[in-house]
Chains A and B, each alone.
Chain A
Amino acid sequence: MSLRSIFFTEILANAREPRTLASALLLGPLIGPVIFAITTVTTLERATSDAEGARSVGVAVAAGTDAENLERFLKRSGFVLRPTSEPTLASVEAAVRSGERSVGLHLEPDAFGFMRRGEPVPVRLVVDGASPTGRRLRRALAQYGETILRQRLMIRGLSPLLHRPFAIDQVDVSTPESRAELLLSPIIFLLIFTTLLGGAHHALDATAGERERGSLEPLLALPVSRTEIVVGKIAATTAYMLLSTTVALIAFSISLRWIPLDRVDMAASIPISTVLGMLLVMAPFALLGASLLTILAAFTRTYREAQTGMGAVLLLPTLPALLAQVSGLEATLPRMAVPALGQQYLLASMLERDPLPLSHFVANGIATTALASLCVAVAVRLYLRERILG
């Protein structure tokens, strides 16, 4: 009865507090998905426009280059060849540097002589390393080189297949969902961070804020156990965190519909069943975050002091997830026991529509809940100290 009253009063009082609502409903849950959508759409736009642009890329060719077959080949490959005024490497470089051409090509004037002697023709590519056009021209030249090699082998009465000891045929087992994995990985990180941020203000205010306003002392003088008070407050913080996660998941779900992933043969969506599953995975993690923040608030003297330590507490649980993303560690059963890291794997697998085995979910749920319970017990102990009054 007391627990329910504390929980609902905490929820009600903070629902009328603009800062709590802003951090639970606006800051993390909406800004994250909006930034994700904008950056992803921009990246896709650039990638697809680069691919389309390859069909008509301007190439500065040193004047006087006499290689008609090569020129024809390059034109067929979509390059527009524009000779420079001077037949020098310097003028090709100048054309690329000034941005007049996206890539430059300088052939040895005596290319034909090299060819005849069977020696490699010196070719200089002038590229801007930041642009993918140089790589495309290099690939086109390699392709042209292969054509010449095949012709040379045939002239000598040899099979053109001689230079291909392997006949490689690739079978791509990836699905449009799994191909989107790397692109979607920021969602997981943002979700974990959003969850913590969603209840951060409430957690600090419910202890440090109440102490400063003088409402904690009369509360502790009521015939209610400290355990009920702490658990009620932590439960309310957890609810705010999960509310934040829900808003973020819905926002991500909407933003994924808006991002044209099909243009790069990828697919991703967050249906309602996945939203519910993800919330279930995040519930023990939210409890852990709420109790960690309550420990911080109970340990510090003022709200401001608690805010100073909040950065570290918010960052700490996100570190394993960040580590997993950077190092590319495999998802194993023992790793599921690490909070945040386990959530990272489980959420990613749900997003890819290829969920990990049930045992992984159970292991993660038990381990995170056990650690969260330990933190709740620590928070209760801190509430039993007289120092809680400030």
Chain B
Amino acid sequence: MIEIEDLEKSFKETKALDGASFRAERGKITGLLGPNGAGKSTCLRILYTVMKPDRGVARVDGIDVAREARRARRRLGVLPHGSGLYGHLTARENIRYYGALHGLRRSSIAARIDQLCRVLDLDELLDRPCKGFSQGQKARVALARALIHDPSHVVLDEPSSGLDVMATRRFRDWIRTLRDEGRCVLFSTHLMQEVTAVCDEVVVIAGGRVRAQASLEALPGLTGHTNLEDAFVALTQPGDLS
């Protein structure tokens, strides 16, 4: 389970996070929904330990990520914004590299690559350099790389940005598979249809604060609206939410 508690983070004069708190459970897809500049990426960056909060705590299965970064990282599969693949390496080399850095043995890496290859349909891509891949192909390889150590928690930052319709649909299927395997899936997005298509739980964030957390069905009711879009607009308006 991922727990975010009262996170605060400022960059000079700008307050990116202002006491954000929410939870994401295993076996569920939790969408972190918010407009641009809401604090989604900062929140995820703190969670996957590349940033430290000014205040507050982020926990993965009860592990404080700031205090025990290495332990937390072993439980996290991270797919930051953009694929971040090494263009001159093949897909297999990219995935194998991360496996080695997670401390896996060569034989386990090979077995896991075979497994991921079947699930993510990577056969044709495995031994080609990533340089010429389409956005969709890059996203598949990057997801495989993030999953090489079989993490219990998967964090994705705007995973479907740049993907075409077919690639987005396939990507959603894989995210659902991850949930069905019992993992905790947390992903950020600013797209409403993304949330409605795959999320079980929605966390609405704006101005660095969590405005609401509820199931997809319950969220509109919180604001007295009947549809999610109106609820989202109401929740992300500046001002205090009572």
Q: Does A220 contact B (CB under 8 A)?
A: yes
Given A218-B146, A386-B51, are A9 and B97 neighbors across the interface (CB < 8 Å)?
yes
Which residues of A in the span 359-390 have a Cβ within 8 Å of any Cβ on B?
386, 389
Contacts of B85 in A (CB 8 A): 215
A1 contacts which of B87, B100, B146 (Cβ < 8 Å)?
A: B100
A386 contacts which of B48, B50, B82, B145 (Cβ < 8 Å)?
A: B50
Q: Is the CB of B100 within 8 A of A2?
A: yes
Closest partner residue, chain A, to B78 (CB atom): A221
Q: Does B216 contact A (CB under 8 A)?
A: no
Q: Which of B70, B79, B100, B101 has the most CB of A within 10 A?
A: B101
Q: Does A53 contact B (CB under 8 A)?
A: no
A12 contacts which of B78, B89, B142 (Cβ < 8 Å)?
A: B89
Q: Does A86 contact B (CB under 8 A)?
A: no
Roughly how many angstroms separate A237 CA and B238 CA in the complex, as a whole number? 50
Contacts of A217 in B (CB 8 A): 45, 50, 80, 84
Contact mask for chain A residues 1-39; partner B; CB cutoff 8 A; 1 contact, 0 none: 110011001001110110000000000000000000000
Contacts of B93 in A (CB 8 A): 9, 12
Contacts of B133 in A (CB 8 A): none
- Prevailing SS type, chain A contact patch: helix
Roughly how many angstroms separate A386 CA and B48 CA in the complex, as a whole number? 13
Q: Is the CB of B101 within 8 A of A223?
A: yes
Q: Is the CB of A214 within 8 A of B52?
A: no
Which residues of B in the span 55-94 have a Cβ within 8 Å of any Cβ on A?
70-71, 73-74, 76, 78-89, 93
Rounded to whole Å, the gap between the CB of A209 and the closest CB of chain B is 10
Roughly how many angstroms separate A381 CA and B100 CA in the complex, as a whole number? 24
Q: Is the CB of A222 within 8 A of B73?
A: yes
Which residues of B in the span 36-50 have a Cβ within 8 Å of any Cβ on A?
45, 48-50
Q: Is the CB of B100 within 8 A of A221?
A: no
Roughly how many angstroms separate A216 CA and B86 CA in the complex, as a whole number? 10
Interface residues on chain A, number (Cβ under 8 Å): 25
Given A217-B80, A386-B50, A386-B51, are A222 and B89 neighbors across the interface (CB < 8 Å)?
no
Given A221-B48, A221-B50, are A16 and B88 neighbors across the interface (CB < 8 Å)?
yes
Given A5-B97, A221-B49, A223-B101, are A214 and B73 neighbors across the interface (CB < 8 Å)?
no
A213 contacts which of B45, B48, B73, B84 (Cβ < 8 Å)?
A: B84
Q: Does A90 contact B (CB under 8 A)?
A: no
Q: Does B182 contact A (CB under 8 A)?
A: no
Q: Does B174 contact A (CB under 8 A)?
A: no
Rounded to whole Å, the gap between the CB of A115 and the closest CB of chain B is 85
Roughly how many angstroms separate A12 CA and B129 CA in the complex, as a whole number? 12
Q: Is the CB of A17 within 8 A of B88?
A: yes
Q: Is the CB of A223 within 8 A of B83?
A: no
Q: Does B221 contact A (CB under 8 A)?
A: no
Q: Is the CB of B100 within 8 A of A13?
A: no
Roughly how many angstroms separate A261 CA and B71 CA in the complex, as a whole number? 65
Roughly how many angstroms separate A12 CA and B92 CA in the complex, as a whole number? 13
Q: Does A264 contact B (CB under 8 A)?
A: no
Q: Is the CB of B103 within 8 A of A1?
A: yes
Q: Does A224 contact B (CB under 8 A)?
A: yes
Q: Is the CB of A2 within 8 A of B78?
A: no
Contacts of B81 in A (CB 8 A): 214
Contact mask for chain B residues 219-233; partner A; CB cutoff 8 A; 1 contact, 0 none: 000000000000000
Which residues of A in the span 212-258 have a Cβ within 8 Å of any Cβ on B?
213-225
Q: Which of B83, B86, B145 has the most CB of A within 10 A?
A: B86
Given A218-B80, A221-B73, are A213 and B97 neighbors across the interface (CB < 8 Å)?
no
Given A218-B79, A386-B50, are A223 and B73 neighbors across the interface (CB < 8 Å)?
yes
Rounded to whole Å, the gap between the CB of B115 and the closest CB of chain A is 20
Rounded to whole Å, the gap between the CB of B114 and the closest CB of chain A is 20
Given A12-B93, A217-B80, A386-B51, are A224 and B101 neighbors across the interface (CB < 8 Å)?
yes
Q: Is the CB of A9 within 8 A of B50?
A: no
Q: Is the CB of B101 within 8 A of A6?
A: yes
A223 contacts which of B52, B74, B87, B142 (Cβ < 8 Å)?
A: B74
Roughly how many angstroms separate A214 CA and B45 CA in the complex, as a whole number? 13
Contacts of A16 in B (CB 8 A): 88-89, 129
Rounded to whole Å, the gap between the CB of A13 and the closest CB of chain B is 5
Contacts of B98 in A (CB 8 A): 218, 222
Roughly how many angstroms separate A120 CA and B51 CA in the complex, as a whole number? 91
Q: Does B170 contact A (CB under 8 A)?
A: no
Rounded to whole Å, the gap between the CB of B22 and the closest CB of chain A is 20
Which residues of B in the span 120-141 have a Cβ within 8 Å of any Cβ on A?
129
Q: Is the CB of B50 within 8 A of A13?
A: no
Q: Give 29 CB contacts A-B under 8 Å.
A: A1-B103, A5-B97, A6-B101, A9-B86, A12-B89, A12-B93, A14-B88, A17-B88, A213-B84, A215-B84, A215-B85, A217-B80, A217-B84, A218-B80, A218-B142, A218-B145, A220-B50, A221-B48, A221-B49, A221-B73, A221-B78, A222-B73, A222-B98, A222-B101, A225-B70, A386-B50, A386-B52, A389-B45, A389-B51
Interface residues in chain B, defined as those with a beta carbon under 8 Å from any beta carbon in chain A: 45, 48-52, 70-71, 73-74, 76, 78-89, 93, 97-98, 100-103, 129, 142, 145-146
Interface residues in chain A, defined as those with a beta carbon under 8 Å from any beta carbon in chain B: 1-2, 5-6, 9, 12-14, 16-17, 213-225, 386, 389
**Closest 9 pairs (CB-CB, A-B):** A214-B82, A16-B88, A5-B100, A215-B84, A214-B84, A223-B73, A221-B48, A221-B78, A223-B70
